[in-house]
Amino acid sequence: MARTYRSIYFYIGKEFLISFLVAFLFFFFIFFVNQLLFLAEDILSKRAPLIDVFLLVIFSLPLIISLSFPFGALVGALMAVGRLSSDNEILALRASGVSLRRIFLPLISISLIFSVISFFTNDYFLPRGTVNFGKLYRELIYSNPGIELESYTVKHYQDSIIITGKVSENQINNIMIIDRTEKKERRIIKAAWATFNRSMEQEGIVSLELENVFIHTTDNKKKREFEYIESERMIYNILLKDISFSIRNPGPAEMSSLDVYKVIDEKEKGFRKKIETHKRELMLKKYNLSQEYFAARELLNEKGKLPDKNLNRLRHYLEEYLKEKSRKITDRVLKLYKLEFHKKLAVPFACFFFMILAFPVGLFTRRSGRAVGFGIGLFVSIIYWGMLFAGQTFGLRMDVSPVLSMWMPNIVIFLTGVIFIILRAKR
């Protein structure tokens, strides 16, 4: 009679899902608390409405969930297999004729489902959450500008830079503003303190009342001429549209993979044009160098000596040619988008690669299966996160393939898992 493994699959799958739920909630709590503390420092301390803060947290959940799935799958698998191994249930299944491949099948199947869920969360819900987060944050700034002006920060806006000291309730100590006048002259405004002038505020404007003001203006035409002004009081208005403009648009990390791919395609077209332009410049410099070389050789044949003027010009063309030839054409923004594109695939599907490692490692656990599995899982998670960060850094700063940079952590996990599987097979 054909043997059915449905009950065994269900039992192992249930054990894994229970352990995964515990691990997932652990990582979710860690990331959630980190986000909550960030919002509490930036928004709750400025007395923003609790309902708005709650919505901001909700809009941040897709990122938290997409990160919690891979690490939860790793730790959950180690805990589940470790528990089954320490209680000799793996041994009992093997004695009953159930192969390790059969035991592994429900784990790897569930990990693939988790990979798809993590990818979908990161690719579909994250961009929408980011857009809604930005809209709500802008509305909060319009109703409470103090959210944006924090203690000891440098804020860049369209035409100005605001540097703040200690901010307490309605007052900003030691504020400095760098902007331009109506004549486009560079101006620096320094004040001992500033307060939000609620009485003079209009719709779409933040009004600051500066005290003990010192103003330094530079003449654009006569850069050595300066103008100094001292004043006891000054009203400085900031357009809220400038503040909201400073909130950056969603970057590649907050975009869907399809949108990132479209941006990459557009930027690669521009990059290819840049390379073609560089090649044409190089050919032109090479032509000028060859012309100077033949002209210099003719002079040598006629006079027996090359004048310093011609020699210097030949040397100049040679230096320009070598400089242009050694120059590497790179596009840092294009690299960043490529790295984020592959990261959007590598991190969710780490669930699958983690399972390749977790299963054989869990089989080696003999005592305190869950506790040991949890500890090993945390250690591997830290190592993986470090490799991911290093890969992104090297991929951005060095001439390393974005594919290799982002997939290398998964490759290392996979190869390590294969080694443990071989060791287990020899036993």
> In the prediction, which pLDDT does 197 show?
67
pTM above 0.85, yes or no: no
**Which residues is 215 bridged to in the sheet?**
189, 229
Residues 336, 334: Cα–Cα separation, whole Å: 5
Residues 404, 342: Cα–Cα separation, whole Å: 9
Q: Cα Rg for the chain, rounded, in angstroms?
A: 31
Provide the 10 A C-beta neighbour count for residue 427: 6
Q: Which of 28, 32, 30 is nearest to 70 (CA)?
A: 28
Q: Average pLDDT of each block of 10 consecutive residues along the chain (427 residues)?
A: 75 91 91 74 64 80 86 91 86 86 90 91 84 74 63 74 79 84 83 73 66 84 74 79 52 82 87 81 78 74 68 75 72 86 91 91 76 87 91 84 91 92 79
Residues 183, 299: Cα–Cα separation, whole Å: 56
Residues 203, 53: Cα–Cα separation, whole Å: 23
Q: Which of 116, 157, 133, 125 is nearest to 43 (CA)?
A: 133
Three-state SS for 345? helix
> In the prediction, which pLDDT does 141 show?
65
Inter-residue contact 333 to 400 (CB < 8 Å): no
Q: Which of 63, 108, 78, 166 is nearest to 371 (CA)?
A: 78
Amino acid residing at 102? R
Mode of pairing for the β-strands spanning 186-196 and 171-180: antiparallel
